[in-house]
Structure 1
């Protein structure tokens, strides 16, 4: 399996290229519109065919490259059916699976940051989008956010994975590349050490986060797959 992690500085977004060494088929998870040339270069360099672009949710901090990639490479756009977006090609549900070469991509529905948040499990890795971050989690104060729902999603869908499952988040603001399920279950400052749902809700209620800078541009664009 081929794995490459891209980083978009303005929104501190991670995009992941995952590909089959056997069939040369590839997927991009959470692609950013402004970075499409970087993706194109990597695909050409590795002789890969892009077959799917997957968004973990409808983003508020950057514009997805889904439509640009579909137009340029003929790949299919994958979203959760609760995304409120009608421009996708494939609408997944909890535990849906997509085969790419020798591996399966399993969707795990992880709402709470948004209604459509989906984490993707591939072998011993989980791509968590904004649901679970390294030593944190997605905010729950806008865009259908709900702290109780997010707590349940993380505990039922991510923390039930094996301890050594590698966590690849949608963002990191401190240069960290990955974590593990075991580490986050034990040490995550909002969720670790068996923190109760009530305590988590109080933490999320008092974060006092700024309004996302790009939300007024990103949300309408992302509801149209980045058009």
Structure 2
């Protein structure tokens, strides 16, 4: 089974990818991170069957609708949440299959009325959303939250799993990535040890926390499964050439696509001068700017025109793309495979002897 834990820094949200037999599920996808998730699915050769939200989030907008539009994936969320556009409303005891594996759905309300925990078939891991965080839990003072209900949900549906079962929450604000049933049963200050329901209710009733900053935007959007209001904006894809986003965050252009769009872009070769004139030659019209000199020569480039970075294999040029992006260049791509792939496809090159 393939398992990946992904992170959105803006909301401290974890998204989880599970794959088996070429099929995949995404748990708690984030709207802005959809390009990243699509790139990973593509690189791993996985077909997205469904997105699963653990609840109607108040701190970010789900990527469920956006992924549905791109992949045709089902949108799964608790039936109790009452979300529009969900084509797979989930209830306690449901199963969600992918490949030869499945997740068991457990209703764990209390943080919100529609909270779910997803448990892997062999009970080796569970995805708890905000019902149980690492050494904590979600608040209970809005979205039909109920501390008594949350206490029962966690104690009966999560902490009854095997001790070694790994627990993966929807958020962590300290960078901690995983815990276990045994750890939380012993050390969770709100729900573990000798804490009883009276202790828990008293604690949760006096948190006095401000509402999440994005709550007024996120909750209505998530009740639409992430679909924007009115005319939906297009998926954020560069329109100046056919590009592929890699999981590293770098956009790539295939050699043949670059040949077709060469007249409209700036080709920047970031190899050393000796490489620029060696047996591989260089692309017609390429400008030589070695990677070590790039930060000091940005003024030579037109910020309004797309830039394609080139090197021998695509490694240094990928680094150049990252540097250019941080410097404010908005249209940047890496030549996939570099000069090696360009030669493999027998595309035209220039060399010093041709100019003499």
TM-score category (smaller protein): over 0.9
List aligned pairs for 1:63-212, cutoff 5 A: 63-122=61-120, 123=122, 124-212=124-212
SS state at 1:67 partner:
helix
Match of 1:39 in 2: 37
Q: Hey, what's the Cα distance between the residues in 1 that align with 2:143 and 2:85?
A: 19
Measured after TM superposition, the shift of residue 194 of structure 1 is: 2.6
Paired residues for 1:9-20 under 5 Å: 9-20=9-20
CA distance in 2, matches of 1:9, 1:145: 26
- CA offset digits 1:40-79 (Å, max 9, x no partner): 1100110110001000000100000010000000100011
Higher helix share: 2
The structure, 1 or 2, with the larger RCO (C-alpha pairs under 8 Å, 6+ apart) is 1
Q: Describe the SS at the equivalent of 1:14.
A: strand
| Displacement after TM superposition at 1:104 (Å) | 1.2
Task: Considering fraction of residues, name the structure with more strand.
Answer: 1
Match of 1:150, SS?
helix
The superposition leaves residues 136-178 of structure 1 with CA deviations (integer Å, 9 ceiling, x where unpaired) of 0000011111000000000110011000000000000111000
Match of 1:7 in 2: 7
Name the SS of the counterpart of 2:70 in structure 1: helix
Look up the SS of the partner of 2:142 in the other structure: coil
| Equivalence for 1:217 | 217
In 1, Cα distance between equivalents of 2:223 and 2:97: 26
Following superposition, the deviation at residue 86 of structure 1 comes to 2.8
Tell me the distance in 2 between the aligned counterparts of 1:80 and 1:191.
24
Instruction: Give the 3-state SS of the residue equivalent to 2:56 in structure 1.
Output: coil
Q: Secondary structure at the match of 1:82?
A: helix
**What is the alpha-carbon root mean square deviation over aligned residues?**
0.7
SS of residue paired to 1:133:
coil
- 1:50 matched residue in structure 2: 48
- Aligned partners of 2:216, 2:13: CA distance in 1, in Å? 18
Task: Supply the distance in 2 between the matched residues of 1:155 and 1:120 (Cα, whole angstroms).
Answer: 15
What do the CA deviations read for 1:23-44 (whole angstroms, capped 9, x no partner)? 2100000000000011011001
CA distance in 2, matches of 1:14, 1:199: 29
Larger radius of gyration: 2
Question: Normalised by the size of structure 2, how large is the TM-score?
Answer: 0.63
Residue 136 of structure 1 aligns to a residue whose secondary structure is coil
Misfit runs of 4+, over 3 Å = none
The equivalent residue for 1:24 is 22
Which whole-Å CA distance do the structure 2 matches of 1:10 and 1:140 have between them? 23
Q: How far did 1:188 drift?
A: 0.2
Unaligned runs of 5+ in 1: none
User: Structure 2: where are the runs of 5+ without partners?
Assistant: 228-356
How many residues are aligned here? 225
Q: Secondary structure at the match of 1:115?
A: coil
